[in-house]
Amino acid sequence: MQLVLVTDVAFWNRSIGSEARVYELAHFLSSQFSLGVFFIDKDGSYKKPDIPYHISSSSDPDLQTSKKTPSSKDKSKSNLEAFGKFCQKHKPLVGIYEYLKLDEYAHIPNAPQIKILDSHDLFSARTKTFRRFSRKHFIEMTEHEELERFNEFNTVVAIQAEDIGFIKSALGEDRALYVPFSMEYRAKTHRNKVKSIVMVGGNSPMNADGFRWFLSQIWPLVRREGISVEVCGDVCKSLPKNDKSVNLHGRVTTERLLEIYDNADIAINPVFYGGGLKIKTVEYAANGLPSVCTPEAVRGIRRTDHDPFIVASTRAEFSEGLSRLITDLDSRLQLASECEPFIDRNYSGRETRELASYIASSIEALS
């Protein structure tokens, strides 16, 4: 085994943006290297997925160091020991660790020699933005603390250009890679009359607050007979269920989500705080959907004058932008026509190939 991807995210479900991104990354890397996945089964709910490369779980019997089921207190230690046994058995040369919260796995004695951190977001940036809205992030740290932990890795991967500048200035030009993710554009047929507006998100505080704001402050201003709002993802758990024009689907399969996208006319992303790239904004464009977004919902995206979304900073701008797309077919089709070039410009996978090149040269250097 050349490469192991270490994660606690069941990315093969692809039901939220972060899962879809890791899935695409793993799928590409498995075509270039002998790839294995080590999944950290924190709650015992793991079921082996149907994916075309090796996967082991921290709960696999052959990776246990004790016959006793570990208590919740000892679970973290047991998971680390299981990864140690995994590395002894498969001897991966390179390890990719999904998010900084898993950095302790990179530092056990048998861990792969080349250590790559896929940072996804900067926790220090999230800490700041959450505090601005009187929210507490589940992992809080300063920039200094985060960079100290970054420095333990050979290379740090970031998914947005503004993060890369920050990391390179601290660690050096050769220790950071910009790898947003890759998506394929899906051609879409657009109908003349709007019938469906879609929004998708996990049950994070920023999604819950943003989606509730939309349903209470925007939707009453723009709703029309015959138009529904389709909400997908675990964010539905935090939303009111008293509006017949709002359908709460909850977490859906990838196939079902694509069906909902195909039937939708407009997408929205109303989050107003958070941190990092909003993958769903990009996913909307990849599925041919024009969208209305807050500035936070497009943060981290390389902007041009030909983007497939309207950016609205206020309640009035958001309702006006959405109303325009509902009533003006030409405006909607014009934005939709920007979707494919937007994906090709920014998310065609060029940067992922640069990561593969780095991994290949690292493996060669170890030979």
Q: In what order do the strands lie in the sheet with 35-39?
A: 54-57, 35-39, 3-7, 94-98, 114-118, 155-158, 176-178
Token pair belonging to 235: 């964010």
Per domain, the residue ranges of the chain are 3-181+349-366, 196-346
273: phi then psi, degrees, rounded to nearest 5: -155, 165
- CATH architecture for residues 196-346: 3-Layer(aba) Sandwich (3.40)
Residue 75 banded pLDDT, cuts 50, 70, 90: confident
Contact in structure between 40 and 58 (CB atoms under 8 Å): yes
The residues near 290 (Cβ < 8 Å, ≥ 6 apart) are: 266, 267, 284, 308, 309, 310, 325, 332, 335, 336, 338, 339
pTM for this model (two decimals): 0.81
Contact in structure between 88 and 127 (CB atoms under 8 Å): no
Half-sphere exposure of 3 (CA within 13 A, CB side): 25
279-334 per-position pLDDT tens digit:
899 999 999 999 999 999 998 788 899 999 999 999 999 999 999 999 999 999 99
Q: Give the C-alpha separation, 236 to 296, whole Å.
A: 21
Cα angle value 212/20/115 (rounded, 5°): 120
What per-residue confidence (pLDDT) applies to 309?
A: 98
Contact in structure between 325 and 331 (CB atoms under 8 Å): yes
What per-residue confidence (pLDDT) applies to 16?
A: 73
Fold: same for 3-181+349-366 and 196-346: yes
Beta bridge partners of 309: 291
pLDDT mean over 61-76: 78
pLDDT mean over 182-196: 94
Q: Give the C-alpha separation, 228 to 234, whole Å.
A: 19
Q: Give the C-alpha separation, 19 to 31, whole Å.
A: 19
Neighbours of 195 (CB within 10 A): 13
Q: Give the C-alpha separation, 271 to 275, whole Å.
A: 10
3-181+349-366 classified as CATH 3.40.50.2000: yes
Contact in structure between 281 and 309 (CB atoms under 8 Å): yes
pLDDT mean over 65-81: 79
What per-residue confidence (pLDDT) applies to 71?
A: 67
pLDDT mean over 48-75: 85
127-148 per-position pLDDT tens digit:
777 777 777 766 788 889 999 9
First to last CA, the chain: 13
Contact in structure between 40 and 82 (CB atoms under 8 Å): no
For 37-93, the DSSP string reads EEE--SSS-------SSEEEETT-GGG-S-SSPPPTTTHHHHHHHHHHHHHHHH--S
Q: Give the C-alpha separation, 275 to 34, whole Å.
A: 33
Residue indicated by tokens 């709007």 = 194
Q: What is the CA radius of gyration of the chain?
A: 21
| Letter string b/e over residues 43-76, b meaning 16 or more CB atoms within 10 A of that residue's CB | eeebeeeeeebebbbbbbeebbeeeeebeeeebe
Helical ranges in the chain per DSSP H? 17-32, 75-90, 123-132, 143-150, 161-171, 205-213, 219-222, 254-263, 279-286, 315-327, 329-337, 339-346, 350-366
Q: Give the C-alpha separation, 22 to 16, whole Å.
A: 10
Half-sphere exposure of 290 (CA within 13 A, CB side): 26
Range picked from 7-11, 97-101, 226-230 for highest mean pLDDT: 226-230
